Amino acid sequence: MIQLKKITVLFLLITVGINAQSTYKKWPDIIRKNDDAWFASAEAKKIAENVLLYQRNIGGWPKNIQMQQELSPQQQKDLIELKKTAAETTTDNGATCQEMLFMSKMYAQVKDERYKESFLKGLNYLLEAQYDNGGWPQFYPLKKGYYTHITYNDDSMVHILNVMKEISEQSDFYSIKPSKEIIEKTKKSFEKGIDCIIKTQYRQKGVLTAWCAQHDEVTLAPAKARAYELPSLSGKESAKITLLLMSVERPSPEIITAVQSAKAWFEKTKITNLEEKRVVNDAGKIIEKKMIVTQNASPIWARFMELDTNEPFFCDRDGIKKKSLEEIGAERRNGYAWYTDEPKGVLKKYAAWAAKNGLKVSGIETSAKKKDNFFTVAQDGSGDFTKIQDAVNASPSFPYEKVTIFIKNGTYTEKVRVPEWNTHLAFVGESKEKTIIAFDDNFSKINLGRNSTFYTYTVLVEGDDFSVSNLTIKNTSGDKGQAIALSIVANRAQVSNCIISGNQDTLYLSGKEAKQYFKDCYIEGTTDFIFGSATALFENCIIHSLKNSYITAASTPEGTAFGFVFKNCKLTAETSATAVYLGRPWRIYAKTVFINCDMGKHIKPEGWENWSKPEAEKNAFYAEYNNKGEGFQPTKRVSWSHQLSKKEAEKYTTENILRDSIQNWHSK
């Protein structure tokens, strides 16, 4: 029995997630004040001095500090000493992100440049703390232990990405406007973060589900944190992650798949027969917590669920799993949030989000969209079509919204053409390795004269604003001369997480003033296996040479600012390939640049070849910057190629390369 003397005990049936009325006694509550004028008050300025003191020189802040509490002279002196230590700087429990918001609100009312500088230092801290794979650790500089894991816990990474999103979109959320260079960095940071989220979504027996509160920073697998925070699927953290993905304008096929999968998992794992009963004292502290069986209760979700079965579990500080909340001790039972209602926000917003993106809801089209915005192709007859081309033919011409063709696993032996009138079309495969489009045409087989190459495609894209993700496109004719796997003669095309496989002339990229984007792809071939006149950016791709020959053969039109640009790519080869050129000019104004790429030893020291066209040495633009690997030998490159300066390399941003209208800055 609980002894009640000076404590008044209140029995309340509380819906999980509803907070008590704010009293503004806590630091986060002060930051969320909506009274703009208060941030110009003497009280606010005094608190701001504390916030400035707590910020370390590295830019971050420690967590769980009541910044509004008055500091003694000795405490102020101690904090000045701590500034240079970077001790306990973190993004956990809202730290750093919330202090940046406070500084932004202060600067909006009081143009003290120290507030602006503090905000920008905080932003730089967040940018520096990001892993190359897009995630963030809990503490930076890195602190030993589970703190190095990619941390979704308590929505830490979501908070950071929301900062990056607001700044990269140049919204009015923050009063402080960084430089264009910083804005570009936040844009890249956001894209990397979303990519990390996509890659860490857990597959349960091949089906995408949700996320763990933390993931290993190397393997990306669900990871353990504290003794009672075991690898699991998180009902809480996964909600904010999904809402963040839903906030992305013009979501990629990968984002759409991630949201759909998470929503389906939330539907599957919701609990509608339990409510949480809390016993609190007059100070608002929970002194007892129980789960009560209730019919038709408002849905809640467990904080931790088994990775393979979705079964809720609970842990005490001994790390031993229990099947019910009652089985763990009072300290952890009452001092931790074991259930949440946050996924209700996802389910509430999903229908509108699906309608906006032309998707089906529970197998039925939303009233705002027609049936011709989404098709499924499946060889077993479970979809709308069994052939991809039939789905393309059924798609509307020049639609106002994106049309998605979801392709289930299987090998589709067919030539697929996306005509010029089928714009805004998206191919989304069920899986990169098992969704395969293949055909075996080659130059000799086509036999239509000197231009036979262009008829050999497996997939031909003529419609603008095309995207394809999560599948393989192959030309299976073998090493029998020119044989295109993917031919894109369209503008604003995007290819992500795909395998493009062939031999000679694997990938043809063209189209009048066309801009095309390849991300996280594997592209392999032999001679000139990436060729054409388009402006194309390749990021984080593996470029694999099957034999000694040439990787690129650009035919960039005269006066075009960019041709083929490879950034953060890895150049690999079969063991038999030991002498591969980066490129040769199909036309004399060819442009090809490699930036931050890892080049294997198969790349020839001279790097480039003129294709018996001396005039190309004066007109072509072949360049590199900051590459690495045995194949990067800048001092041995042909004299007519270039090693970019840092300033020159900075012009190769995604925005500059891919925007539709651009000045020829090479002439400036």
| Residues 584 and 550 sit within 8 Å (Cβ to Cβ) | yes
DSSP 312: B
Q: Which fold has domain 532-662?
A: Pectate Lyase C-like (2.160.20)
Contact 374, 344 (CB under 8 A): no
Query: For 224, which DSSP code?
Result: -
- Residue 213 DSSP one-character state: S
Would you state the pLDDT for residue 610? 97
Element housing 598 (H / E): strand 598-599
What pLDDT, on a 0 to 100 scale, did the predictor assign at position 351? 87
**Residue 136: closest CA among 150, 147, 125:** 150
Establish whether the linkage from the previous residue to 141 is cis, with ω within 30° of 0: yes
Q: Please, is 363 exposed, middle or buried when counting C-beta atoms within 10 Å of its C-beta (0-12, 13-18, 19+)?
A: exposed
Point out the catalytic residue in the list 282, 505, 520, 598: 505
Tokens of 347: 């389910």
Which of 390, 528, 598, 660 is catalytic? The answer is 528
Phi-psi region of 626 (alpha: psi -120 to 50; beta: other; left: phi over 0): left
Grouped pLDDT means (10 residues each) for the chain, 668 residues: 30 31 68 89 96 97 95 95 93 96 96 97 98 96 95 96 96 94 97 96 92 96 93 96 95 94 95 85 78 86 95 94 90 90 93 81 42 84 91 91 93 97 94 95 96 97 96 96 97 96 97 92 97 97 97 96 96 96 97 97 97 96 97 97 95 87 31
pLDDT at 12: 30
Is 505 a catalytic site residue? Answer: yes
Q: Name the maximum alpha-carbon separation found in the chain.
A: 98
Pairing label, strands 301-302, 233-234: unpaired
Reported CATH class of domain 12-200: mainly alpha
What are the φ/ψ torsions at residue 406 (nearest 5 degrees)? -90, 125
The reported pLDDT for the residue numbered 363 is 44
Task: Report d(CA 281, CA 293) in Å as an integer.
Answer: 24
CA atoms within 13 A on the CB side of 312: 18
pLDDT in tens, 212-237: 999 999 999 999 999 999 999 999 99
Does residue 595 contact residue 652 with C-beta atoms inside 8 Å?
A: yes
Bridge partners of 509? 488, 532
Total number of residues shown for the chain = 668
Give the integer Cα–Cα distance in Å for 296 and 643.
68
Segments in 55-179 forming alpha helices (H): 73-82, 97-109, 113-129, 156-168
Residues forming a β-bridge with 581: 550
Q: Which amino acid is at 225?
A: A
Q: Can 12-200 and 532-662 be said to share one CATH topology?
A: no
Distance (Å, whole) CA 94 – CA 96: 7
Cis before residue 634, ω within 30 degrees of 0? Answer: no
DSSP one-letter code for 480:
S
**Phi–psi pair at 44, nearest 5 degrees:** -65, -40
- For residues 278 and 50, give the distance between their C-alpha atoms in angstroms, rounded to a whole number: 36
Of the candidates 633, 590, 634, 637, the residue with the CA atom closest to the CA atom of residue 611: 590
Question: Side-chain half-sphere of 189: how many Cα atoms within 13 Å?
Answer: 28
Q: What is the pLDDT of residue 487?
A: 98
CATH for 370-513 is 2.160.20.10
For the chain, helix (H) and strand (E) counts, in that order, are 16, 41
pTM for the full predicted model: 0.55
- Cβ–Cβ contacts within 10 Å for residue 558, how many? 9
Cα–Cα distance measured from residue 571 to residue 551, given in angstroms and rounded to the nearest whole number: 10
Domain-by-domain residue ranges, the chain? 12-200, 370-513, 532-662
CB burial of residue 99 (10 Å; 0-12, 13-18, 19+): buried
Q: How far apart are CA 613 and CA 114, in angstroms?
A: 59
